[in-house]
Amino acid sequence: MSCSQIIYFILNMNPSKNRTNLNSCLGISGRVFIFTYLIIYLMSNDFLLTNLQGDIPETGEVNVLQTKDGIHLRVATWQPVESIPRKGTILLFHGYTEFIEKYYEVIEELRNRGFHVVTADWRGQGLSSTLLPDTKKGYVNTFTDYIQDSDLIFRRMVAGQLPGPYYLLGHSMGGHLAIRTTQQYPDRFEKIIACSPMLGFHGLGLGTVKGVSSFFTNLGFGKAFPPGARSVDMSESQGYLTSNEVRRKRWLVYWEGEPGLVKAGPTWRWIKEASRSTQGLMKSKRIKAIKTPILLASAGKDRVVSPRYHKTFAKKSSLVELVEFPKAKHEILMETEGIYRHFWDRFDSFI
């Protein structure tokens, strides 16, 4: 068992279910030793997985934050490249199934632009606490849990700790949560960058998705997979997300090396809560109340979220700058070099 797998096990122990065994096997001194080691270990780079080149972006540090409901969140921070003038701090929000290591290249782009970077594995993802015994299931009680987690990260790791101005960069579900965050905390961030944000689903209307998922959740199937969502083919899957095979294979290597990172499809409950959150976010009065400028990057060949909702969202606020990438698939930040560089050009002009 690797060190990261040991830490993953510790982070995901359910105290109420494991108290008897833990007490009998370790005792007080044993538990103190393990958790002291855990904190020391997490303060080093060793809890960040190396990429294909064996490089972790320099200055990376890892912390674990505990939420009010006992969830442990793996949080990583980076300083900007030393020779670059400081520009502030960016909080980076991942999408569904994603994890810190997948964004090493993006983190390095931000560091080279003079930004401090803070990012985390969402609850139930990456190496943060899982929520169900079947760790591959995507589950959340409510999307408000994600917002509260991000608020905890901001208050504990960003505000008063790192220099402003503060920015938010989010992809897919992370883009959705970035927009929800600025709706809830309108004066917190200078600007928002949302890549392929989840504002509506590919192929189905929000009302249909919410109705069907609510039906099965209310029948008691909230923790169950919908048909076709129960497995991940790591060798062939994810090709619909990006046209860049090098970048696609890079995150598959992490999955193969760390089983704890692997996520399959979402449960009925996750889908219900995602559609409910999206319906609220897309209300005209909430869009028109936005006070923070938003750069919305929309992929023309997206098969996960619908670009149609991006256009609807942008039309309702003068603060939203819509940038379309007609040849891009869902993962704009992991796309071919031309698309990738186009995004960063627009990022630079926006910031």
Backbone angles phi and psi of 224, in degrees to 5? -100, 155
Cα–Cα distance for residue pair 108/104, rounded to 1 Å: 6
Minimum mean pLDDT range among 53-62, 107-116, 228-237, 296-305: 228-237
What is the longest distance spanned by two Cα atoms in the chain?
61
| Domains, in order of start, for the chain | 43-350 (3.40.50.1820)
Residue 258 has a pLDDT of 82
Q: Band the pLDDT of 242: cuts 50, 70, 90.
A: confident
- Range 203-212 average pLDDT: 91
**pLDDT mean over 145-154:** 98
| Cα–Cα distance measured from residue 22 to residue 324, given in angstroms and rounded to the nearest whole number | 53
Q: With 70 as the cut, is the pLDDT of residue 189 above it?
A: yes
298-324, pLDDT tens digit by residue? 999 999 999 999 999 999 999 999 999
Query: What is the sign, positive or negative, of the torsion defined by CA atoms of 233, 258, 157, 69?
Result: positive
- The pLDDT value given to residue 302: 94
> pLDDT at residue 350 above 50?
yes
3-state DSSP assignment of residue 316: coil
- Which pLDDT does position 19 carry in this prediction? 36
Per-residue pLDDT for 229 more than 80? no
| Region 214-223 average pLDDT | 97
> Residue 33's pLDDT is what?
45
pLDDT per residue over 33-70, tens digit each? 444 444 444 444 456 766 545 567 887 899 999 999 99
- Where on the phi/psi map is residue 72: left (φ > 0), alpha (ψ -120 to 50), or beta? beta
Confidence of residue 27 (pLDDT cuts 50, 70, 90): low
Structure tokens at 2: 């690797």
The Cα 118–Cα 76 span in angstroms is 6
Residue 159 pLDDT level (bands cut at 50, 70, 90): very high
Question: Which amino acid, one-letter code, is at 60?
Answer: G
Query: Average pLDDT over the chain, rounded to whole?
Result: 86
Extract the tokens encoding 298: 């929309």
pLDDT beyond 90 at 185: yes
Strands (E), 233-340: 294-299, 320-325
pLDDT at 311: 97
Q: What is the pTM of this model?
A: 0.86
**Nearest to residue 165, comparing CAs of 107, 91, 61?**
91
**Mean pLDDT across 165-176:** 98
Residue 240, pLDDT score: 82
Question: Nearest to residue 50, comparing CAs of 94, 4, 1?
Answer: 4
* SS3 state of residue 131: coil
Of 105-109, 152-156, 261-265, 342-346, the range with the lowest mean pLDDT is: 261-265
